[in-house]
């Protein structure tokens, strides 16, 4: 495998191989703790040299995605990687609204950049389109589980299309933390604001399809900003509506 051209320069072969190893793990359905193909097997499947694979494995080991055991082989790592639960979650308290708002700021930056990068490769969008369709179907049928499934797949697919492994990890971890914050204001039935979320997904998708990085980033920022506004309104509603205290969390009707 030779270096791969990219905007502004070339990507080292080991970077490309590291991405391909992650894609292979997903394609094979390997779970944490599962044994992976050997370096020789990986080199054969990826069409590259064992030296390049070895360098790729070093990167993935540093990220906490792969674990190499001397004399035993390669395994999918047990933890969540460089930004795993034992790291970010150690300071994130879903009941601390300042932390929740900081998480939205963090997600805004992530989603803008993944959408911007994905728009530079608009050919790789089938997974994004399919996820948006699942999300819309969940809204139209009133199925919260289907909407949330599509919403998660939508943002994950855009991160994958960005071809930046660090952003992929960060997006996955931030969304995991978002689930924690959902417990204090963003869970419940599929309703009003979900229609806006579906439209915002479509705007992001259309901008990426058009190959317009600036428009894609703007649409992503709008989506996260509106989700945060919904969250704030729900928190205010719960604070100032006696009927909502005490009681289970109610929903803004969107996941973001």
* CATH, residue 65: 1.10.10.10
Residue at 251 is within a domain: no
Please report the pLDDT score of residue 202 as a whole number: 96
Please report the pLDDT score of residue 144 as a whole number: 86
Looking at the fold, whether 160 and 218 belong to one and the same domain comes out as: yes
Range of the domain at 27: 4-76
Looking at the fold, whether 89 and 62 belong to one and the same domain comes out as: no
Local mean pLDDT, 10-residue blocks, the chain (256 residues): 48 83 86 91 94 90 82 81 51 66 92 95 83 93 89 93 88 82 49 81 96 97 92 69 46 55
Looking at the fold, whether 94 and 186 belong to one and the same domain comes out as: yes
Please report the pLDDT score of residue 53 as a whole number: 94
Please report the pLDDT score of residue 138 as a whole number: 92
Please report the pLDDT score of residue 241 as a whole number: 57
- Identify whether the C-beta of residue 24 lies closer than 8 Å to the C-beta of residue 45: yes
DSSP secondary structure, 4-71, as one string: EEETTEEE-HHHHHHHHHHHHHHHHT--TTPBPPPHHHHHHHHTS-HHHHHHHHHHHHHTTSEEEETT
Please report the pLDDT score of residue 185 as a whole number: 46
Q: Crossing angle for the helix pair 192-209 and 97-118, nearest 10 degrees?
A: 30
Looking at the fold, whether 135 and 219 belong to one and the same domain comes out as: yes
CA–CA distance, 57 with 22 (Å, rounded to integer): 10
Residue at 255 is within a domain: no
Please report the pLDDT score of residue 93 as a whole number: 57
Say what the pTM is. Answer: 0.66
Number of domain units in the chain:
2
Please report the pLDDT score of residue 61 as a whole number: 84
């Amino acid at each position: 495998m030779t270096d791969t051209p990219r905007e502004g320069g070339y990507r080292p072969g080991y970077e490309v191989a590291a991405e391909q190893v992650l894609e292979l793990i997903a394609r094979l359905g390997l779970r944490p703790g599962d044994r992976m193909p050997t370096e020789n097997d990986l080199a054969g499947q990826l069409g590259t040299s064992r030296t390049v694979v070895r360098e790729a494995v070093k990167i993935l080991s540093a990220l906490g995605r792969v674990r190499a055991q001397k004399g035993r082989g390669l395994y999918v790592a047990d933890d969540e990687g460089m930004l795993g639960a034992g790291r970010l979650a150690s300071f994130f308290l879903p009941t601390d609204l300042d932390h929740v708002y900081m998480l939205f700021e963090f997600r805004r930056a992530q989603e803008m950049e993944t959408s911007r990068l994905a728009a530079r490769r608009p050919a790789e969008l089938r997974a994004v389109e399919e996820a948006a369709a699942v999300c819309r179907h969940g809204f139209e049928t009133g199925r919260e589980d289907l909407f949330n499934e599509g919403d998660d797949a939508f943002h994950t697919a855009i991160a994958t299309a960005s071809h930046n492994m660090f952003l992929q990890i960060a997006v996955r971890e931030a969304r995991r933390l978002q689930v924690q914050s959902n417990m204090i204001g963003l869970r419940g039935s599929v309703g009003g604001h979900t229609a806006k979320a579906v439209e915002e997904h479509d705007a992001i998708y259309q901008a990426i399809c058009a190959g317009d990085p600036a428009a894609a980033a703007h649409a992503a920022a709008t989506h996260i900003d509106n989700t945060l506004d919904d969250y704030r309104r729900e928190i205010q509603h719960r604070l100032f509506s006696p009927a909502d205290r005490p009681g289970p969390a109610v929903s803004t009707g969107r996941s973001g």
